């Protein structure tokens, strides 16, 4: 079994998020201009600059289903609804007749319509929390045709590849309450509080990257959502033992808001299939 801990959907084509959106990014696919495709250029992760790659479209409103729901997933807050809906839609890519929607009767749930070919077990498995992992960047690969493996991961647009170390932290290292904060009008921050175990894990990880040890030779971390690199960022200082800190990286408002919401879904431990 792959070390990536993928969810197994027998009848589903599970595809990581790859839809362009409103976000400041370093994507080199030519996107630029308005808020729907905004992009900026940054040097490569191997060169030491922070990178924010394009994010999925979470701005579109998720409305009522046109079909009959097979499964309900929840709970979600208003801030978590659209980011989590985008995760579910990505997992359903290529499944004809699949749809993600909401209901005014249960605004804290996401409803999923599925074809009859999808088993009940696979339908329920869709409601797994998002996979959010943090890994040290060992190398950014110049050959983007390299096949993804258990240590090679693409970004969300598939136009950059990174060789990464083992998972050093995931969403369970955070306490509930992760938020996106604007920093005095100069940028955005993902602010969080770590669990006791999380503090120890992050301290070890940040020490390794700050010191550019063999475990983190680039001095940078990669944040992965559903096995795709969403953000990379240099580690400018060790943790210092504090359980409250901002995740290293330069964040766009959209990316910070989206990942803060999804981290909180994992940290809450409550998201899953809704009975009834």
Q: What is the CATH number of the domain that holds 199?
A: 3.30.1360.200
Q: What's the pLDDT at 276?
A: 67
Q: Is residue 1, in this structure, part of any structural domain at all?
A: no
Q: Is residue 114, in this structure, part of any structural domain at all?
A: no
**Mean pLDDT value across residues 234-258:** 88
What residues contact residue 41 under an 8 Å CB cut-off, 6+ apart? 26, 28
pLDDT at 71 over 70: yes
Domain hosting 228: range is 130-268
Q: Is residue 192, in this structure, part of any structural domain at all?
A: yes
Characterize the bridge pairing of strands 188-193 and 179-182: antiparallel
Q: Is residue 186, in this structure, part of any structural domain at all?
A: yes
Q: What's the pLDDT at 14?
A: 30
Closest CA to 123 of 98, 153, 102: 98
Q: Quick one: how far is CA 149 from the chain centroid?
A: 18
Closest CA to 135 of 231, 200, 28: 231
Bigger pLDDT: 27 vs 178: 178
Q: Is residue 60, in this structure, part of any structural domain at all?
A: no
pLDDT > 90 in the chain, percent: 58
Model confidence over 186-243: pLDDT tens digits? Answer: 789 999 999 999 999 999 999 999 999 999 999 999 999 999 999 999 999 988 777 8
Whole-model pTM: value is 0.77
The count of domains in the chain is: 1
Q: Is residue 86, in this structure, part of any structural domain at all?
A: no
Q: What's the pLDDT at 61?
A: 62
Q: What is the DSSP string of 186-239?
A: S-EEEEEEB-HHHHHHHHHHHHHHHTT-TTSTTSEEEEEETTEEEEEEE--S--
Q: What's the pLDDT at 170?
A: 93
Bigger pLDDT: 55 vs 93: 93
Q: Is residue 263, in this structure, part of any structural domain at all?
A: yes
Bigger pLDDT: 185 vs 133: 133
pLDDT > 70 in the chain, percent: 77
Q: Is residue 134, in this structure, part of any structural domain at all?
A: yes
Q: What's the pLDDT at 12?
A: 40
**Mean pLDDT value across residues 78-99:** 93
pLDDT at 58 over 60: no
Mean pLDDT of the chain: 79
Confidence of residue 64 (pLDDT cuts 50, 70, 90): confident
6-15, 241-250, 260-269: lowest mean pLDDT where? 6-15
């Amino acid at each position: 079994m792959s070390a990536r801990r993928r969810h197994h959907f027998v009848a589903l084509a599970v595809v990581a998020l790859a839809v362009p959106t409103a976000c400041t990014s370093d994507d080199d696919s030519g996107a630029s201009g308005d808020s729907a495709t905004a992009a900026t250029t940054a040097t490569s992760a191997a060169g030491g600059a922070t990178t924010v790659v394009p994010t999925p479209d979470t701005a579109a409103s998720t409305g009522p289903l046109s079909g009959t729901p097979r499964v309900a997933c929840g709970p979600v807050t208003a801030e978590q609804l659209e980011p989590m809906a985008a995760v579910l839609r990505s997992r359903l890519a290529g499944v004809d007749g699949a749809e993600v929607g909401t209901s005014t009767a249960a605004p804290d749930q996401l409803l999923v319509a599925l074809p009859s070919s999808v088993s009940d077990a696979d339908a329920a498995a869709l409601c797994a929390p998002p996979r959010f992992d943090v890994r040290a960047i060992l190398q950014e690969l110049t050959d983007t045709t390299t096949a993804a493996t258990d240590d090679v991961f693409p970004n969300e647009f598939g136009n950059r590849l990174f060789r990464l170390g083992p998972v050093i932290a995931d969403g369970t290292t955070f306490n509930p309450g992760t938020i996106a904060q604007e920093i005095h009008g100069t940028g955005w921050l993902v602010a969080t509080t770590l669990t006791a175990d999380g503090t120890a894990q992050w301290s070890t990880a940040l020490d390794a990257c700050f010191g550019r040890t063999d475990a983190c030779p680039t001095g940078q971390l990669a944040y992965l959502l559903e096995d795709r690199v969403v953000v990379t960022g240099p580690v400018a200082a060790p943790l210092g033992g504090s359980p409250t800190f901002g995740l290293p990286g330069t964040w766009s408002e959209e990316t910070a808001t989206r990942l803060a919401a999804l981290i909180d879904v994992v940290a809450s431990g409550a998201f899953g299939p809704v009975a009834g």
